[in-house]
Amino acid sequence: MATPYKVQLSVEDTGAVKFQDPTAESAAKVSDLLQKNHDNHHIFFNEEGFHNHIVHGLLSLYGLGAPASVLQRHFDTNASYQRPPVKVEEKIIQDMSDPDNFKKYLGKEEYYRDFLLFFEQEMEKKGWQNVLNEYVFAGDERADGMLVRMYAGFLHPLIHLGFGVEFKQPAIVAEALAQAAVHDAWIGDLLLGAEQANKAQGPTKKTLPELLSDIHMDKKLTEGVQWEDANKIRDGLLQRVSQDMIKHASQWSVSSTTLEEKTAEMINAAVYFTAGAQHPPKQVKFDFFYMHSVNCSVFFTTFNAQTWLSSESKVRLLAWKGYLDLAMYASRGSPELLMEEIVGFVPKVQEAERSSWTGVLRRLFEFDDDGHAIKLGRAVRNGQVVCQKFEDKEWCKIKDWQWEKVENMVVDSVEDTGQNWVRNTGFEKAWEGFEDRPRSTRL
């Protein structure tokens, strides 16, 4: 049985995206590998704060039915460069029980292991759902600080939490809480600012595609981000044009009655701006930062289904995701979104068996990276399923056969030459070093 200290998956723990059922051998293998990662690795693989993605890659592969050999290969590829955990001090774990003392350890990566053991102990006493409600969703100062940190680091703590909840693994939920605790909280200026502005102005009917268009046309926002900015949200948007960004973000409204449709709208919009931000005639590549908005989108139907989570918390989770997606889009130069790049895309593989979404996922099983590609393929398939009932809505940009086009764009782009991802797609400099497409494949 899965506990706060033990990862244990069964063949029933397949996650939200159905493809092929995992085997008992795969369940045993992924449980063993995730336990090794839990016990032996830090959440950052270097001192610059680059994230350990082993959990994300393995659970994406496992949930889609990848065989044990693929799981082992993925682990071996990515375990080789991980950092060992920092030594734990029992007195620090005890000290964290005091809410005032808890704050002094936040944002410091050297306390990741201490936070991990602290949250494991809390879960053992109270249950993981109760711990999440107390430390993340209570609405008090401590919980709001933790919720903000869930959206830090390009959504990595929230992605980690999503995997823990989706696959019912308390130990991974504990990792997510500890990961959030050691991130900075500056993204709260955007999230809390947009939330407050939205409440002050009242609900609006603006959709995410409309807001993406508004942001694209807002030259002040575009000029508020510069190529040289080390972190283009923190040092660009929030340093130079924070109120303008908050003004746009706050126009997206979510309520308990619109939660299902707004979840689908968020998913669709994330895929739309990520797949549409191409730069012809350069190779088709997905922006590394935009990709995280898609990869995180897969978890919101799971969050919405949790009976222990209040309606208010579900609405807040989704609204903040929308705010951050809009800022993510603006932070990479607000590129023009080219639907023709999606609808006119010609897959390099024409055989139906390999270009169908099932064929694409099998190809991604064989692609060696840190897990981003299989997460993206899984999230796009999830979008197709979730958005299907809303295809008559004006906000629904990606629909029907276009989803399979996006799936092929994903696998073709990472199998192509050059780097797997473009970074900061809205800047001309980002595309230096990428090749032009062969003339026969240009639109």
- CA 178/CA 427 separation, integer angstroms: 34
Residues 341 and 209 in one domain: yes
Residues 240 and 307 in one domain: yes
Residues 232 and 162 in one domain: no
- CA 240/CA 238 separation, integer angstroms: 6
- Does residue 408 lie within any of the structural domains? yes
State how far Cα 109 lies from the chain centre. 20
Residue 269 DSSP SS3: helix
Do the bridges between strand 421-422 and strand 286-287 make them parallel or antiparallel, or are there none, so unpaired? parallel
The domain boundary, picked from 34, 50, 79, lies at 79
The domain boundary, picked from 181, 216, 237, lies at 181
Residues 302 and 412 in one domain: yes
- CA 103/CA 180 separation, integer angstroms: 13
Q: Are 382 and 16 in contact (CB under 8 A)?
A: yes
- Does residue 121 lie within any of the structural domains? yes
pLDDT beneath 50, residues of the chain: 440-443
- Does residue 406 lie within any of the structural domains? yes
- Does residue 176 lie within any of the structural domains? yes
- CA 53/CA 370 separation, integer angstroms: 6
Q: Are 161 and 303 in contact (CB under 8 A)?
A: no
- CA 318/CA 263 separation, integer angstroms: 7
Residue 434 DSSP SS3: coil
pLDDT at 85: 85
pLDDT digits (tens, 9 = 90+) for 361-415: 999 999 999 999 999 999 999 999 999 999 999 999 999 999 999 999 999 999 9
Polymer length in residues for the chain:
443
Residues 133 and 63 in one domain: no
- Does residue 220 lie within any of the structural domains? yes
Residues 177 and 200 in one domain: no
- Does residue 59 lie within any of the structural domains? yes
Residues 391 and 276 in one domain: yes
pLDDT at 353: 73
The domain boundary, picked from 164, 181, 198, lies at 181
pLDDT digits (tens, 9 = 90+) for 13-41: 999 999 999 999 999 999 999 999 999 99
pLDDT at 443: 46
Q: Facing residues of 421 across strands?
A: 286
- Does residue 291 lie within any of the structural domains? yes
Domain of 48? 24-79
- Does residue 325 lie within any of the structural domains? yes
Residues 369 and 340 in one domain: yes
Overall domain count for the chain = 3
Residues 111 and 51 in one domain: no
